[in-house]
Structure 1
Amino acid sequence: MTALLNEVALINGWRIATGRHGDGLPVLLLHGTPAHSIIWRNVVPRLTAAGMQVHLFDLLGFGASERPHHADTSVAAQSQLIGELLDHWELEGVHLVGHDIGGVIALLFALEHPQRVRSLTIADAPSYDSWPSPTWRGIHQRFSDHARMAPDEHRALMIRQLAMAVYDKRVMQGELLEAYLAPISGVVGQPAFYQHQVAHYDSRYTADFAERLPGMALPVQILWGAEDEWQPLEYAHRLQSDIPGAVLQVLDNAGHFLMEDTPARVSEYLVEFIGRAERLR
């Protein structure tokens, strides 16, 4: 994480842990939940090697970024941070990539500020009425109770949930598992996780996608793990149907955290799509 997040930005008085790597085409990577920027660790080097300048950050209330007691950390509020961070980085536009709720955040930003998005890739993103997914629904409904549950119970619950996020269950073990658990554990991390993440698993932010998405006029790519246990593949096809010209790539032997299962293939699709979008500008 130290290597990925090598800078800090002060946005609206909040400390945001950020990273910037390489030179070339500007790309911004947005992580989802329950995650942080570590999920991009095997993608960033491949993109920089392909001639891209990669930007990333931990969402407000997530990972190494500040976890304020009183702040709106919904996907709608997080989308507003993107423009402010682009200004901080002095970027007029960017190739935007969002995974999970990062995909929702990216979509919301692209809908409001299409002139600042050179291309958009979303991966396994909640949409329409797809969230909270069945396995998270009860947790969402009782998020304040879970914030106070015994640490061992919380850990066991998160280990179960994180195992569901990958196709190859051997991936989410040992050091990597602990890296995912660390920011959402402890006297600060556990309650912050439920306050800043789980509390906002709410389809009201995406309920109007059927009306809004057909108006998009951007190059859009959709990546989806064929074995996603949280976001069914049918929603990827629905997104493709509603977004004009959207390209769908379904990755076999990949779950919801497809960057953990197949980072090379994810990177290949990103490099090819971003390069093509840039040539068509």
Structure 2
Amino acid sequence: MTTTQQEFDRSFVPLTLDGVDLQVAALHRAGDKAPILFLHGFGSTKEDYADIVRYAAFNGHPFLAYDAPGCGETTCSDLARIGIPLLVKTALAMLDQFGIQRFHLVGHSMGGLTSLMLAHQHPERVLSFVDIEGNIAPEDCFLSRQIHDYAHDDAERFFEDFIERTLHAPAYASALYAASLRHKVRAGAVRGIFESMVALSDHGELMEKFLALPCPRMFMYGEQNTHLSYLAYIQSQGVHLAEIANCGHFPMYSNPTAMWERIAYLQHPSTTS
């Protein structure tokens, strides 16, 4: 009989934030190096980052990844209350639960925007920040702005139509991503998340917040998104750019090895190439 060694632990953490009851599903492990916090994007889950245990560059690093409210295995008593502010408070509460003070930060899309707001509020705690196509400008709302461009009063109908549009989008991993959306996100959470993302992207001075962060910063993007208008500008302001080949918005699905190599580079520039 063979046994499987557990390379990370699973936990369900009860939280109450602003009167909203959460049961947050997390993956984590201990270690003696600097911790890493991973925040997934809309329609994704904590398992996007479980493969950290496969890459030797991260040996010894504790990590924490969890399902955001309204997503994955995390339960939420009031889906309509979910937006970026609640997601930031969830991140802070989870860091407290696991006793994490200073940490490397990695966030994708919705998780990238959440990470940016977290880092802006507590810059002294963030050792480095890998922003994987997180919103820093209005043009980044190609998914979330659909809440206005294809508005529908019925949350379920909007979500079904969103999934269908995503299924046929001409980008790497779109069909793969679309296939699991209804299993990974509650339809009742979509409007609050998308509306808060659009509002912050349009009016939250995200670019200024991103460039003002004192830690090393990387902006990771797929080769299909080289059209983003601000790439040269943020590079001129000291941001590391990481273009991922054969990739659109989802490097963890299209080219995960390149994604992990670039994350490791920012965190260990003297020991990785």
TM-score by length of 1: 0.78
Against the structure 1 CA distance between its residues 77 and 143, is the aligned structure 2 distance closer, same or farther, given a 3 Å change threshold? Answer: farther
Are the aligned partners of 1:96 and 1:117 in contact in 2 as well (CA < 8 Å)?
yes
Which residue number in structure 1 is paired with residue 182 of structure 2? Answer: 181
- Which secondary structure state, in structure 2, belongs to the residue aligned with residue 95 of structure 1? strand
CA offset digits 1:71-113 (Å, max 9, x no partner): 6322133112222211110111110000001111111111110
1:8 is the counterpart of 2:17: no
Against the structure 1 CA distance between its residues 109 and 72, is the aligned structure 2 distance closer, same or farther, given a 3 Å change threshold? Answer: same
For residue 257 of structure 2, the aligned residue among 261, 264, 281 is: 264
CA offset digits 1:176-227 (Å, max 9, x no partner): 765443133xxxx33x242443343314356312443343211111111111
CA offset digits 1:24-50 (Å, max 9, x no partner): 331111101122223324445326853
158-167 or 74-83, which moves further after superposition?
158-167
Against the structure 1 CA distance between its residues 253 and 55, is the aligned structure 2 distance closer, same or farther, given a 3 Å change threshold? Answer: same
Aligned partners of 1:130 and 1:114: how far apart in 2?
25
Aligned partners of 2:233 and 2:170: how far apart in 1?
21
Aligned partners of 1:138 and 1:155: how far apart in 2?
12
For residue 145 of structure 1, the aligned residue among 149, 153, 159 is: 153
Aligned partners of 1:268 and 1:246: how far apart in 2?
17
For residue 81 of structure 2, the aligned residue among 67, 72, 81 is: 72
Which residue number in structure 2 is paired with residue 17 of structure 1? Answer: 25
For residue 95 of structure 1, the aligned residue among 93, 104, 110 is: 104
1:38 is the counterpart of 2:47: yes
Which blocks of at least 5 consecutive residues in structure 2 are unaligned? 1-5
CA offset digits 1:4-27 (Å, max 9, x no partner): 771011222421111103523311
Aligned partners of 1:219 and 1:194: how far apart in 2?
32
Give the aligned CA root-mean-square deviation in angstroms.
Answer: 3.2
Which residue number in structure 2 is paired with residue 62 of structure 1? Answer: 71
Aligned partners of 2:151 and 2:120: how far apart in 1?
30
- Which secondary structure state, in structure 2, belongs to the residue aligned with residue 167 of structure 1? coil
For residue 166 of structure 2, the aligned residue among 150, 161, 167 is: 161
- Which secondary structure state, in structure 1, belongs to the residue aligned with residue 249 of structure 2? coil
Are the aligned partners of 1:50 and 1:271 in contact in 2 as well (CA < 8 Å)?
no
- Amino acid paired to 2:15: I
For residue 118 of structure 1, the aligned residue among 102, 122, 127 is: 127
Q: Where in structure 2 are the equivalents of 1:107-256 lying within 5 Å?
A: 107-133=116-142, 136-140=144-148, 145-149=153-157, 154-155=159-160, 157-162=162-167, 164=169, 167=172, 172-173=175-176, 178-184=179-185, 189-190=186-187, 192-205=188-201, 207=203, 208-228=205-225, 232-241=227-236, 244-256=237-249
Against the structure 1 CA distance between its residues 132 and 264, is the aligned structure 2 distance closer, same or farther, given a 3 Å change threshold? Answer: same
Aligned partners of 1:200 and 1:115: how far apart in 2?
25
- Amino acid paired to 1:14: L
Q: Which has the higher contact order (CA 8 A, sep 6+)?
A: 1
- Amino acid paired to 2:40: H
Aligned partners of 1:27 and 1:203: how far apart in 2?
28
Sequence identity of aligned pairs in percent?
A: 20
- Which secondary structure state, in structure 1, belongs to the residue aligned with residue 43 of structure 2? coil
- Which secondary structure state, in structure 2, belongs to the residue aligned with residue 255 of structure 1? coil
Aligned partners of 2:75 and 2:170: how far apart in 1?
25
TM-score by length of 2: 0.80
Which blocks of at least 5 consecutive residues in structure 1 are unaligned? none
- Which secondary structure state, in structure 2, belongs to the residue aligned with residue 7 of structure 1? strand
Are the aligned partners of 1:36 and 1:58 in contact in 2 as well (CA < 8 Å)?
yes
